[in-house]
Chains A and B, each alone.
Chain A
Amino acid sequence: MSDTHSHSVAFVRHDQIPAAPPPAGETGPLKWVRENLFSGPFNTVMTLLGLYIIYSLVVGIFPWIANSVWGTENIRECREITQGNGGACFSVIEQRWQQLLFGFEYPSTQYWRPTTAFVLLFVAVAPVLFLNLPRILLVFTGLYPFLAYWLIWGGTILIPISAALGFVVGYFAFKRLEHNSFATGLFGAVAAAVLTWWVTGFLVGAAPGLIALPEVASRNMGGFMLNMILGTICVSLSLPIGIALALGRQSHMPIIKWICVVFIEFIRGVPLITLLFVANVVLAYFFPPETSLDLILRVIIMITMFSSAYIAEVIRGGLAALPRGQYEAADSLGLDYAQATRLIIMPQALKISIPGIVNVAVGLFKDTTLVSVISMFDLVGMIRGPILSSTDWAGVYWELWAFAAALFFVVCYGISQYSQWLERKLQTGHR
């Protein structure tokens, strides 16, 4: 073909023209900006509005940070240095960080103890949070509560050891008696544990100073440490109670069901503050006259009740989401209620409810700040009370609240990011 025309056509191109580049507006960042930021009049207005908001935030915050002052003794020196240029006075955090973190009565020579407990907390929760870590680490998780108690409260190491020993003996008693029935195992374990504690009680009484750390009373706990203590203890205690309540609410036994329903609905219907009032002024009336529980313990009881009701509702959601067939399959295998719950139902229900449990935990951790209302000196209480009312630092609001907000943000955002990661990992279905 080409031969016949080659002489009559003036010019024949032998290679293809390279594709022209797309117009400048249809490629690269420009295209992205056009499509995402300025695709229409409404979007353009929104973009400009957003840029204005960012601009005013930066303009507002930048001089505050750029002109900030460190290393002064009190707010008057700060004001002399800043001369009204809007700089922050971060010296307050430098001067008072120990109070903010540990409260003002925890002996300052012992700060390494709560710090160690805090660091070890990460080691202890790691195997729970990340399932691909070796399971042997769970042993440390089990030991952690006793270790942390010893580190933070001090006293002889015999107390936590004997407490742990009681649990270990109880566990082996349970393993031994379990094949009879679950209930026998449980009662046997409780009996064995109580017996162990009774025996070791004499031991502790005999050697009260063995490997002892200086004791720190509960009322001396304060600052962010108090928030961490309350949050960790209450969440971990409320998990088993919440599971029991959720199972009780699903139960076919009317009396047990109604006990659980009334408890859960009552706790969920009232604000946490009223429960803290109970801890503060009412709860002492319900204990035998000669006992005197300190405030932190009463608060732990009430917050644990509070969070276990919420966790119970989350787990109930997980139980309800399990297909009916799972229960029937467990029944048809001949498993009894305890076995079916432990081996078939709970592992799946808990997996479904992990994000919800994490949400409750984050919410609870934030709610521990409410204890400042009943005049306990947690982080918020420390700032509102001793620090802002001291003559040195009266009026340094923004720096302190920004510090408190940052601490809570780091912890809560971290936990919620973990929860989202886990949710993605556990997601087996698709939409």
Chain B
Amino acid sequence: MTIATDPPKESFRLSMLINDTRYRSYTFQAIALLALIVFFSILGNNLAQNLAAAGLNISYEFLGDPAGYDINQQPIPYDSQSTHMRASIVGALNTLIVAFLACVTATIFGVIAGVLRLSNNWIISKLMSIYVEIFRNIPVLIWLIIIFTITANVFAPIAEFRLPRDGSDPERTLIFGMMAFTNQGVFIPKLTLGDSGAFVIYAFLASILGVFGYRGYARKKLFDEGKTIPVLLPSLAILIVPAVLMYFALGRPLGVDLPEMGRFRFEGGLQLRTSFIALWFALSIYTGAFIAENVRAGILAVSKGQSEAAAALGLRSGRIMNLVILPQALRVIIPPLISQYLNITKNSSLAIAVGYMDLTGTLGGITLNQTGRAIESVLLLMLFYLTFSLTISALMNVYNNSIKLKER
């Protein structure tokens, strides 16, 4: 017969800080914290010494000074007398513009290439493999410079669009009278807003919401009452009719400004500069190759049994894709897709290599060099990208949790 005795009362010994698993983690954390504090204080100390030696200080006052340089793409009004702050905002907007457009086109390229790579057509699937492998294995910087060189050297110079003095036809004319690809950029029609033009845009945005509402209603009716009501035509009507009515009711406030050849250069229209076109296209086609791989992996991840089961239920191939394969494939595709979007945003900082004035070009480039405020500028630059990435990642986590398979 054994008698359970109380464990002997242990007194705390110093060696338990290392050897006892209950305390060891506190020891390690204390050491880590201490090392971190020492590390940062050494860095801070060095920084203070170096700054004092160079006669510098950390201050953000330079953001209020006039920038004194020009920016060639201005989404908001800006001139060389504007502040460095405003120059940075223009740069940030330019970053977001090119990143957004590149995300859209990269997705289109990627989905097309990814689906076609799985095609039974041997030629097409091999072509797509070649596209994917070539673009994935060569640095984006090289692609960016190659495409920039193409746009600057292969597209026709503006002079060829000029009307010759003798009244003969110019060497080149605008495509459809609307677009011109020149070595100084692409000229496209511009949408002009009249006084009340914004209302037409609002009406159009509202009708997009209306279409979603109508589709939801149609689905509810199908599930509740088993009735199918037409979706496609009413959706189109909801999309187009209110905006068109609004357009005529307000006296045609929207117009299109076509580019026209003036004496020396194009007048009117919207000029997309070579640097912008090159960056946009390079980012989309490069990232498109990565997205193609994600799309392919996503589709292959849906087991064959799923499509066979759907076929056995009598679904047609279009519906199998829409109702069975895609919802499951998207669960696999979307997380890497979002990280590709983040990559596009980060890679858009390569703009500095072709002279597109994004945030890296304004704040991290000219402002930094003019003011010599290296630490402040680089810190702000990082903060911008970090905020953007972390926001997207946070939204991503919310989305991931909402589509997570709910099992057990």
Contacts and interface: CB of A to CB of B under 8 A. Distances in A.
B382 A274 contact: yes
Interface stretch (A152-160, A233-241, A276-284): A276-284
B127 A50 contact: yes
A259 interface: yes
A47 B121 contact: yes
Contact of A53 (B127, B146, B149): B127
Interface stretch (B4-12, B133-141, B264-272, B319-327): B133-141
Interface string A190-218: 00000000000000000000000000000
B378 A277 contact: yes
A297 interface: no
Interface of A: 35-37, 39, 43, 46-47, 50-51, 53-54, 181, 183, 252-256, 259, 265-266, 268-274, 277-278, 281-282, 284-289, 362, 366-367, 369-370, 372-373, 380, 384, 397-398, 401, 404-405, 408-409, 412-413, 416, 431
B149 A43 contact: no
Contacts of B381: 270, 274, 277
A405 B142 contact: yes
29 contacts: A37-B123, A43-B121, A46-B116, A47-B121, A50-B121, A50-B123, A181-B18, A255-B29, A255-B32, A259-B32, A269-B390, A270-B381, A270-B386, A271-B360, A274-B364, A274-B381, A274-B382, A278-B378, A286-B46, A289-B46, A289-B49, A373-B141, A373-B350, A384-B145, A398-B149, A401-B142, A405-B142, A409-B137, A409-B138
B51 interface: yes
Contacts of B360: 271, 273-274
A286 B39 CA distance: 11
B36 A259 contact: yes
Contacts of A255: 29, 32-33
B385 A254 contact: no
B23 to A, nearest CB: 12
Q: Which 5 A-B pairs have the closest CB atoms?
A: A412-B137, A269-B389, A271-B346, A366-B139, A281-B374
Nearest to A33: B122
Q: How large is the interface on B (under 10, 10 to 19, 20 to 34, 35 or more residues)?
A: 35 or more
Nearest to B387: A269
B196 interface: no
Contact of A253 (B29, B137, B375): B29
Contacts of A409: 134, 137-138
A347 to B, nearest CB: 24
A270 B141 contact: no
B334 to A, nearest CB: 17
Contacts of A380: 139, 141-142, 145
B105 to A, nearest CB: 19
B124 interface: yes
A39 B389 contact: no
Nearest to A287: B46
B274 interface: no
Contacts of B389: 268-270
B353 A413 contact: no
Given A37-B123, A269-B386, A289-B50, 11 more contacts: A43-B121, A183-B18, A253-B28, A270-B346, A286-B47, A372-B353, A408-B138, A408-B139, A409-B138, A412-B137, A412-B138
Contact of B378 (A46, A274, A397): A274
B119 interface: yes
Contacts of A398: 149
Nearest to B56: A285
B80 interface: no
B46 A43 contact: no
Nearest to B45: A288
